[in-house]
Structure 1
Amino acid sequence: MLTTFYYIDLYNKQQQNQPETEREYFMRMAREMKQARILKKRQARKEHIKAIFAAALNLFKSKPVANTNSVYGH
């Protein structure tokens, strides 16, 4: 059983020394672009949620009133 793992490890080491093929390059670039799109969408969603919370917080803020007459419209 241990020899099987040794052969697998040896095979993987040989694979690391080989240059990347054109297909592997394009597949890696596609994965990286997909991850970049996911991160961009996640960041946009986070900014949108922050904006919603900021707008909701501004609804509950009250400004100080100089005197009580202005509150009642006098």
Structure 2
Amino acid sequence: MLTTYYYIDLYNKQTQNRPESEREYFMRMAREMEQMRIAEKRAARKQQLVSLFAAIAKRFNVKRTPNLESLYGH
């Protein structure tokens, strides 16, 4: 009988029920914190852009129209 071993699958099955080590836990927490920092920076940058465009629109008295029909006067 020919048996093929998929080493990655075999490794994943062995480590599936293994508890997380202290080092793995801290590394995971560091990765999650880094992702949170990146998301916060991205949100802050987005907020700055939105406020900048809002200030420009307010300065030039640009008003948003509710829909295309009001643009054409229908």
TM range (shorter): 0.7 to 0.9
- TM-score, normalization by structure 1: 0.74
Q: Which residue of 1 aligns with 2:4?
A: 3
Larger Rg: 1
Structure 2: unaligned runs, 5 residues or longer? 63-74
Structure ranking higher in helix proportion: 1
Equivalent residues, number:
60
Q: Is residue 13 from structure 1 mapped to residue 13 from structure 2 by the alignment?
A: yes
1:1-74 correspondence to structure 2 within 5 Å: 3-5=4-6, 7-61=7-61
Cα distance in 2 for residues equivalent to 1:32 and 1:22? 15
Report runs of 4+ in structure 1 exceeding 4 Å deviation.
none
RMSD: 1.6
User: What stretches of structure 1 of length at least 5 have no aligned partner?
Assistant: 63-74
Could you tell me the percent identity over the aligned residues?
Answer: 62
Question: For 1:4, what is the secondary structure of its paired residue?
Answer: coil
